[in-house]
Amino acid sequence: MSYDLAVWEGDRPADNAVALATFKALYERYSGRGHTPPTPRIRAYVEALLEQWIDLTEDDDDERSPWSTGPLIKEASGPFIYFPMVYSRCEEVSAGAARTAAEHGLVCFDPQLGLLRPAPEEL
């Protein structure tokens, strides 16, 4: 079982309903429709995540990496990344990934909760 986050370039949506609609449109456009190289900002975001947590492809024992797939950059397409993490570490990793997205001026949306992140308590 995994836990997923979506991160994209653009203005922060006005509310969670607009974020959900934006997420669905971006998912439809960029996921599973062939690969579009990630934009420089999304690439920089992934690199920042990998400074904090090892990529699954670099983990010899599959225990240190929180990612469910690897390499993580393969989950990125254009201005959008939708990526899974192991459920057992989702609180720690999703909070950190959301903060990192905010630091990079990106939008982070949690489709499981239907919420924009980071929440104020995560900052």
* pLDDT tens column, 83-111: 999 999 999 999 999 999 999 999 999 99
Q: Is the pTM of this model over 0.85?
A: yes
Among 102, 103, 98, 51, CA closest to 72? 51
pLDDT of residue 78: 96
Strand partners of residue 116:
109
- Domain map of the chain by residue range? 2-122
